[in-house]
A and B are shown apart, each in its own frame.
Chain A
């Protein structure tokens, strides 16, 4: 409570059904894993947001603490943390991603 960085993160998570904290932007990812994650979600056609935290170590630290996850990118879907494509790829192989996104967008 009251930590402005945590509040900012919570607001972003609430605002975007699919949210990627990464290095670089959607148009210009600055890290291979961030690019892979952008490509992962482009397939599905739902809107998603990329928040660049490359130049924001305080926010990166807050995110790592909040998720107990040390690396970027970090993916949130419908307010819940889903790690990165190491987690999402096996979920996709089991057919779990599309229903999750459809539920998130009320489809």
Chain B
């Protein structure tokens, strides 16, 4: 289990401009859908964008606070 604020702060450590939306899929706050919007994704393909998010969430994924994660990564322009 992880709070939206804590999860957002992990992502913002790597991408300070990130706007983060967290959706709880199971009511237990450990199966999450996370949408990240950031300029840092510009020029990066989807695989690399998701790698950036996974890297920023490495700690809560390894210690089990996040069990399952579905990601969406976009730029502010919507690409």
Are B50 and A83 neighbours in the complex by a CB distance under 8 Å? Answer: yes
Distance in angstroms between the alpha carbons of A87 and B71 in the assembled complex: 9
Number of A-B contacts (CB under 8 A): 30
Counting contact residues on chain B (CB < 8 A from A), the size range is 10 to 19
Are A70 and B54 neighbours in the complex by a CB distance under 8 Å? Answer: yes
Distance in angstroms between the alpha carbons of A31 and B72 in the assembled complex: 20
Give chain B residues whose Cβ lies under 8 Å from the Cβ of A82: 47
7 A-B pairs closest in CB distance: A87-B46, A86-B71, A70-B54, A83-B47, A68-B51, A86-B70, A87-B47
A interface with B by C-beta (< 8 Å): 31-33, 68-71, 81-83, 86-87, 90-91
A69-B50, A70-B54 known, 16 other contacts, Cβ within 8 Å = A31-B68, A33-B70, A68-B51, A69-B47, A69-B54, A70-B58, A70-B61, A71-B54, A71-B61, A82-B47, A83-B46, A83-B47, A86-B70, A87-B46, A87-B50, A91-B46
